[in-house]
């Protein structure tokens, strides 16, 4: 978020203790028969047989200065759900959740309102460190990630999981973290399959950075099927009350044509020159629907960065003028009928080559940490929540490279009933909510693991 300071996390000695897998407590799945689950197929999302467009809003009341889970507090989520109904959104994105909490009441209330949820799996204590990714990709980190999957995967309105958010940014050195984000994406997809869960789409939310956007997009959709993302999302603040061509959106549509998997905007909503939300008309137009699957407007709650459209004071919500404008745009420009020009087949793209803006020179990914393999069979167990010791330097790291194809499911799916980045918010020129440290390279048999 544009005006927030860096959030520091102190990793205590307790974080060095390796968490072993414990049986995941069974919980009956929450069903809402009237709400179809969303799948990714071809280059689009589908709710049953109908094309699904993300027409949503980013939702993290309190921002990074007060990182709490809005889906764990019914008084909070129901307060805001009333506003989401007025807006007419069909999706919200939640950046931080507590994987040790119960979310039934909020998730069921959202499902009853036909609202889907996209969830980031990271939080400030459990995330990939963009400046020192090698030690931060470890078994303790993945236990928290998988516990978040356990907590939400069985809700029918869980639309997707983000494996990371803005880990790679305008600093070219951060591109070296890409293999660890991609490995996390692979691991989540493998965990979902191994545990017999519904195939909830998994992908990445990229920063609004032009110099590496396409390299990163291609990287996330290249390689073997197990290594590729189910979708790719990116943040885009280039519209600024202009139009399809002036903003450069026409060029981006051209660049992503034929990409092969669904794409959507994980954040949009420039506040320069005012906000009339003309982006909604563009996103729902034939010029874009054959390539894009909608997007999430940034953001709901007014914070110091001034992007929010609603001011929250305790239980009271005051709608700002932009609230009505956004609601009007959603109402005026509904989702189109039919397939919107979607492509029915999915395809991979070539991996990017190393260049001055992209420092990844290998297609190999780090192997999943040895102790994390137990989670595939036994489950992740109870999550550490938002007050655990953290994972940045917890040990149990990867010890080599994975063979392409090794991230496939390790067990035949069964009928499990286990229900049970970190940057977020705003354009890339904000201070990111990340954990920084001295850059550290792990040497393995003379090979530099990037």
Which residues are known catalytic residues?
166, 267
Query: How far apart, in whole angstroms, are the C-alpha atoms of residue 155 and residue 111?
Result: 8
User: What is the CB-side half-sphere exposure of residue 310 using CA atoms within 13 A?
Assistant: 31
- How would DSSP label each residue in 259-270? --S-EEEEEE--
Q: Check residue 372 and report its DSSP letter.
A: G
Q: Which residues of 302-319 are buried (b: 16+ CB within 10 A; e: fewer)?
A: bbebebbbbebeeeebee
Query: How far apart, in whole angstroms, are the C-alpha atoms of residue 73 and residue 78?
Result: 9
Are the CB atoms for 395 and 175 separated by under 8 Å? no
Cα distance from N-terminal residue to C-terminal residue, the chain: 28
Beta-carbon contacts of residue 297 (< 8 Å; ≥ 6 apart)? 56, 57, 58, 267, 268, 269, 277, 279, 326
- How would DSSP label each residue in 176-208? GGHHHHHHHHHHHHHHHHHTT-----EEEEE-S
Dig out the tokens for 269 from the structure. Answer: 């909503």
H or E stretch at 105: helix 104-112
């Amino acid at each position: 978020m544009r005006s927030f300071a860096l959030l520091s996390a102190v990793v205590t000695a307790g974080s060095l203790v390796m968490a072993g897998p414990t049986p995941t407590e069974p919980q009956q799945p929450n069903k809402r028969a009237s709400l179809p689950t969303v799948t990714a197929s071809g280059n689009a999302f589908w709710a049953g047989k109908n094309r699904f467009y993300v027409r949503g809003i980013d939702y993290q009341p309190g921002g990074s200065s007060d990182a709490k889970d809005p889906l764990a507090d019914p008084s909070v989520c129901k307060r805001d759900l009333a506003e989401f109904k007025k807006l007419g959104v069909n999706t919200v994105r939640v950046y931080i959740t507590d994987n040790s909490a119960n979310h039934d009441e909020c998730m069921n209330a959202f499902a009853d309102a036909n609202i889907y949820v996209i969830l980031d799996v990271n939080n400030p204590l459990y995330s990939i460190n963009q400046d020192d990714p090698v030690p931060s990709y470890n078994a303790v980190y993945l236990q928290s990630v998988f516990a978040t999957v356990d907590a939400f995967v069985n809700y029918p309105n869980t639309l997707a999981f983000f494996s990371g958010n803005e880990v790679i940014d305008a600093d070219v050195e951060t591109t070296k973290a890409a293999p660890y984000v991609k490995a996390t994406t692979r691991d989540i997809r493998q965990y979902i399959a191994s545990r017999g869960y519904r195939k909830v789409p998994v992908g990445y939310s990229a920063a609004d950075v032009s110099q590496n956007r396409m390299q990163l997009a291609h990287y996330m959709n290249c390689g073997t099927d197990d290594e590729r993302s189910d979708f790719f999302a990116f943040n885009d603040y280039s519209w600024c009350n202009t139009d399809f061509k002036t903003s450069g959106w026409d060029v981006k549509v051209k660049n992503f044509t034929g990409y092969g998997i669904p794409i959507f905007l994980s954040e949009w909503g420039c506040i320069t020159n005012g906000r009339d939300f003309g982006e909604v008309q563009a996103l729902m137009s034939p010029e874009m629907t054959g390539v894009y699957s909608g997007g999430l407007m940034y953001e709901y709650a007014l914070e110091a960065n001034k992007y929010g459209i609603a001011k929250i004071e305790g239980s009271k919500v005051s709608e700002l003028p932009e609230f009505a404008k956004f609601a009007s745009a959603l109402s005026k420009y509904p989702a189109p009928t039919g397939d919107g020009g979607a492509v029915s087949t999915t395809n991979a793209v070539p991996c990017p080559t190393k260049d001055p803006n992209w420092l990844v020179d290998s297609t190999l990914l780090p192997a999943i940490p040895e102790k994390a393999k137990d989670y595939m069979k036994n489950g992740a167990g109870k999550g550490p929540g938002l007050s655990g010791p953290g994972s940045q330097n917890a040990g149990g790291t990867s010890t080599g490279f994975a063979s392409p194809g090794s991230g496939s499911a390790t067990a035949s799916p069964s009928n499990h009933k286990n229900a049970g980045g970190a940057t977020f918010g705003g354009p890339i020129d904000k201070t990111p909510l990340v954990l920084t440290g001295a850059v550290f390279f792990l040497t393995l048999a003379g090979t530099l693991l990037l």
